[in-house]
């Protein structure tokens, strides 16, 4: 009625289009939602209003939901750039929205762009927000750096987190020490990692801590001793972590598959390949079931299983694991460069061994 009575550029008509798009989005009918949002954007495109910014973001979320990553990224960037013109007037709204956009960039594999946006929010939060809100942003910075395998920045952000906590030892600081130790391990600084784990262990031993936190620390210690060649201690902590997780969490928890994978890698190092294969196949099965076959954890577990098959002389099975991983990576619009390199490197080693 509004379109026929007046014109299809009136404020009410645009509002109706957005509401209809939102209804379809909530019903997970993304195809029709995209149609309505796009119609409203076509009318709003010359205004560059805050409305235009919001609808661009809604359109991006619909594209993201149906796996059209390039269109999603384009819509979010349009939304973000439009929003920048409102930075001085919106303030809180601007930075809250920027935080959400940063999450989407990170989830989309746009780690560098996400880091830049998170840091802009972080700078503003330091001056205007509470300690808890600031810690929330730092945790997102840490997660993004971890996803990007940017361990130096991860170390920097976790250190910031500990500073915001005033370096007072409590459960949050102890948890941060475990994370910091993990980041140090990733760049081979095992002495620094051990110091961080020791700090956390001292606190955990003196206080009542939920079992999973203790298991995560044990799992990290197992990896540390595995990397430094102390296999007895590595096995001791890996089994302790596994026993805790068996009782404390369900099979669909990612940490359970991680414990299995740690045992698989350990027993492979100890030349106990049949035991390693048993744990490794179970870990990859759970990663695929719970996280999906396109997850980094599943692809990396295929690489670990390939090594075990290789050591058992089962070269065809070893190759199959790596080719499956490579095929999955080829389907991803954005894949982890480090994981890609790992798969290709392992394939090269296999073909070299086979004289190919």
Instruction: Name the least confident of 9-18, 21-30, 204-213, 331-340.
Output: 331-340
Per-residue three-class SS string for 181-237: HHHHHHCCCHHHHHHHHHHHHHHHHHCCCCHHHHHHHHHHHHHHHHHCCCHHHHHHH
Q: What value does the mean pLDDT take over residues 327-350?
A: 82
Q: 8, 43 in Cβ contact below 8 A?
A: yes
| pLDDT bracket for residue 174 (50, 70, 90) | very high
For residue 350, what pLDDT is reported? 93
Q: Residue 336 has what pLDDT?
A: 64
Give the tokens for residue 81: 């750039």
Which of the given ranges, 79-83, 97-101, 278-282, has the highest pLDDT on average? 278-282
CA distances from 288 to 99, 112, 140, 296 (A): 30, 27, 25, 10
Over residues 325-341, mean pLDDT: 78
Find the range with the poorest average confidence among 53-57, 171-175, 304-308, 351-355: 53-57
Give the whole-angstrom CA distance, residue 50 versus residue 44. Answer: 10
Greater confidence, 92 or 287? 287
Measured CA to CA, the distance from residue 184 to residue 178 in angstroms comes to: 10
Higher pLDDT, 315 or 147: 315
Lowest mean pLDDT among 24-28, 161-165, 291-295, 334-338: 334-338
pLDDT > 90: what percent of the chain? 50
User: Which residues contact residue 103 at a Cβ distance below 8 angstroms, ignoring those fewer than 6 apart?
Assistant: 114, 140
The token pair at 208 is 């009542």
pLDDT of residue 103: 84
Region of poorest pLDDT, from 12-21, 28-37, 48-57: 48-57
Could you tell me which of 149, 206, 208, 155 has the C-alpha nearest to residue 181? 155
Average pLDDT in the 136-143 region?
A: 94
pLDDT at 335: 58
pLDDT at residue 161, as a whole number: 93
Is residue 10 scored above 80 in pLDDT? no
**Of 59, 143, 62, 66, whose CA–CA distance to 99 is shortest?**
143
> What's the pLDDT at 5?
57
Instruction: With CA atoms as reference, report the closest residue to 297 among 346, 252, 266.
Output: 252
Task: Give CA–CA dist 134/237, Å, rounded.
Answer: 34
Both tokens of 292, joined, read 């999906």
Model confidence at 324: pLDDT above 90: yes
Mean pLDDT, the chain, whole residue set: 87
247 contacts 222 by C-beta, under 8 angstroms? no
pLDDT at residue 148, as a whole number: 87
- For residue 340, what pLDDT band results from cuts at 50, 70 and 90? confident
């Amino acid at each position: 009625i509004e379109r026929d009575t007046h014109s299809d550029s009136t404020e009410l008509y645009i509002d109706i289009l957005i509401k209809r798009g939102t209804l379809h989005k909530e019903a997970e009918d993304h195809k029709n939602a995209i149609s309505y949002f796009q119609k409203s954007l076509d009318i709003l495109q010359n205004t560059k209003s805050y409305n235009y910014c919001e609808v661009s973001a809604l359109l991006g979320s619909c594209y993201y939901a149906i796996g059209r990553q390039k269109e999603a990224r384009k819509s979010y960037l349009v939304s973000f750039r439009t929003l920048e013109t409102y930075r001085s007037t919106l303030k809180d709204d601007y930075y809250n929205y920027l935080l959400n956009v940063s999450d989407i960039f990170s989830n989309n594999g746009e780690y560098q762009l996400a880091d830049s946006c998170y840091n802009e929010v972080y700078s503003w939060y330091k001056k205007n927000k509470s300690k808890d809100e600031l810690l929330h942003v730092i945790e997102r910075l840490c997660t993004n750096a971890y996803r990007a395998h940017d361990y130096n920045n991860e170390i920097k952000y976790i250190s910031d987190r500990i500073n915001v906590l005033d370096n007072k030892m409590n459960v949050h600081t102890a948890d941060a020490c475990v994370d910091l130790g993990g980041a140090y391990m990733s760049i081979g600084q095992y002495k620094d990692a051990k110091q961080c784990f020791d700090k956390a262990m001292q606190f955990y031993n003196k206080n009542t801590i939920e079992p999973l936190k203790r298991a995560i620390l044990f799992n990290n210690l197992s990896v540390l001793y595995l990397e430094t060649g102390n296999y007895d201690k590595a096995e001791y902590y890996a089994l302790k972590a596994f026993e805790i997780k068996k009782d404390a969490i369900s099979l669909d928890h990612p940490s359970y598959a991680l414990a299995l994978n740690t045992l698989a890698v350990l027993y492979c190092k100890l030349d106990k390949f049949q035991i390693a294969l048993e744990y490794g196949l179970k870990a990859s099965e759970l990663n695929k079931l719970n996280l999906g076959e396109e997850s980094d954890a599943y692809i990396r577990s295929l690489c670990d299983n390939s090594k075990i098959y290789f050591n058992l002389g089962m070269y065809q099975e070893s190759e199959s694991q790596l080719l499956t991983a490579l095929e999955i990576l080829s389907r991803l619009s954005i894949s982890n460069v480090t994981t890609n390199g790992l798969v290709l490197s392992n394939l090269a080693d296999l073909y070299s061994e086979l004289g190919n």
